[in-house]
Structure 1
Amino acid sequence: MRMIFVNLPVRDVARSREFFAALGFGFNDEYSNEEVLCVEIEDNIYAMLLEEKPFKGFINGEIADPATTEVLTCVTTESPDEVDALVTRALAAGGKPWKPTFSEGPMYGGSFQDPDGHVWELMAMRAEADATA
């Protein structure tokens, strides 16, 4: 079985825990401590949020500024309503708006920046028949 771990630097793990808990995500405490937070996105998909010191142990060079948008992390949802709800909760929990919500063909998407500036996209993939309705 394959697993995906998206590793992102954060300034404050406790703040990140509050933010992602407000969005309804769970955590794997076996892989978390005061400097590292394992956010459970879905079965076998995790976001590892690491404070600067442990994150630097995994990279060569310097930590990139999230404002440069080096990566877009996209998570699918069950419906457009879930996209809207997650964006609303993210903004209420201290996230920032990113791009406007859009509907294009079978895709409905929204996005936000977390408190550290990382971009999270949310995408509902509708059946083609639903998209044309």
Structure 2
Amino acid sequence: MSTYQQMIFVNLAVDDVAASRAFFTALGYPINEQFSTDDTASVVISDTIVVMLLAKKRYADFTTKDIADSVSTSEVLLCLSAESRDKVDELVGRALAAGGTEPREAQDHGQMYGRAFDDLDGHTFEVMWMDPAVVQG
């Protein structure tokens, strides 16, 4: 079995890189300055997950398609795991304090608990905890 850890780089178009950088920093995520510029910010979610915040003009360099209006349309729901119910509430609380919004009520299914926040540009991040006993079967 390979020990290679595949990574995911989620690229998001944003209106204001500096404001989005401040938002994700307020959530507790560091910025990798090596891969950040005035029109990009590399947000380190974990060792294998990076969110690249790209000014719309820079984002357009990577696609010939129209850039979705993330406030009025949904192309993707990004789901982040959390180690506990309290950590779900903590992260969503930080997002709301930093200017994000909560697009729906919490979903509590006993062994699974989740909430969501929209960032400053309307990208939806779900935050979910699942009872480890359920995950292990």
Q: What is the TM-score with the length of structure 2 in the denominator?
A: 0.89
Equivalent residue, structure 1, for 2:113: 108
Equivalent residue, structure 2, for 1:30: 34
Unaligned 5+ runs, structure 2: none
Equivalent residue, structure 2, for 1:87: 92
Deviations 1:99-125 (CA, angstroms, capped at 9, x unpaired): 111112431101010000100100112
Report whether the alignment pairs 1:15 with 2:19.
Answer: yes
Q: Where is the strand percentage greater, Structure 1 or Structure 2?
A: 1
Give the alignment's Cα RMSD to 1 decimal: 1.2
Report whether the alignment pairs 1:98 with 2:113.
Answer: no
CA distance in 2: counterparts of 1:116 and 1:35, whole angstroms:
15
Q: Identify the match of residue 124 of structure 1 among 121, 129, 132.
A: 129
SS in 1 for 2:87: helix
Percent identity of paired positions between Structure 1 and Structure 2: 48
CA contact (8 A) 1:105 1:128 kept: no
Report whether the alignment pairs 1:77 with 2:82.
Answer: yes
Deviations 1:71-90 (CA, angstroms, capped at 9, x unpaired): 00111111110110111111
The one-letter code matched in structure 1 to 2:9 is F
Unaligned 5+ runs, structure 1: none
Dislocated runs of 4+, deviation >4 Å: none
Report whether the alignment pairs 1:56 with 2:65.
Answer: no
CA distance in 2: counterparts of 1:60 and 1:16, whole angstroms:
24
SS in 1 for 2:51: strand
Q: Identify the match of residue 51 of structure 2 among 47, 51, 59.
A: 47
SS in 2 for 1:88: helix
